[in-house]
Amino acid sequence: MRRGPCGGPAVPLSLPGLPEAVLFDRDGTLVHDIPYNGDPDRVRLMPGARAAVDAVRARGLPVGVVTNQSGVARGLLTRRAVEAVRERLEKLLGPLDVWAVCPHGPADGCACRKPSPGLIQAACAALGVDPRRTAVLGDIGADLAAARAAGARGVLIPTPMTRPREIAAAERTAPDLLTAARGLLRASAGPGGDH
């Protein structure tokens, strides 16, 4: 157990059982959040992003991204621009096993846009894994709400953009991405647990 961000409650870094897959939010989690970024030259990894993804891959687990990109619906981004950013991110991190992208706006009422569970469910279906055996890492409450709605385990990695109430409401937090990934990979060694 470690103290949560901002002196918050202690949180378990080891979760029960090794996940079958790890899904990352994109903006604010894997890369610095530049609103509506469609320019691959502006993509900058968050501290520890490469090491976190590499740690998950080293355990043989699939890695994916689940990301809201409402800039498409708002006319601020094209699907090709979103794809160009994906290509740049994969040059920095290596190929990812699945991408689930919601191009809709908040008022569109879609089932995929986080905090709805659709992106996580779609990514899990593409990977052939159970959402209940999947972990989702993100930087805002919508990421964790989507994980909860899908039955997945969510871990919040707060940034300056994370609201204090989102941190207070999070069941699991980690001070940084690498700590979060390592915590997920320390599966419980209890009876019936993964080793």
Structure tokens at 137: 């890492």
Does residue 139 have a pLDDT over 80?
yes
| Residues labelled as active-site residues | 25, 27
> What does pTM read for this prediction?
0.88
Label residue 80 exposed, middle or buried (CB < 10 Å: 0-12, 13-18, 19+).
exposed
Unique residue bearing structure tokens 């699907």: 79
Structure tokens at 163: 């609201």
Mean pLDDT, rounded, for 6-25 = 65
Mean pLDDT, rounded, for 93-119 = 96
Does residue 41 have a pLDDT over 50?
yes
Q: Indicate the pLDDT class of residue 151, thresholds 50, 70 and 90.
A: very high
Mean pLDDT, rounded, for 150-160 = 97
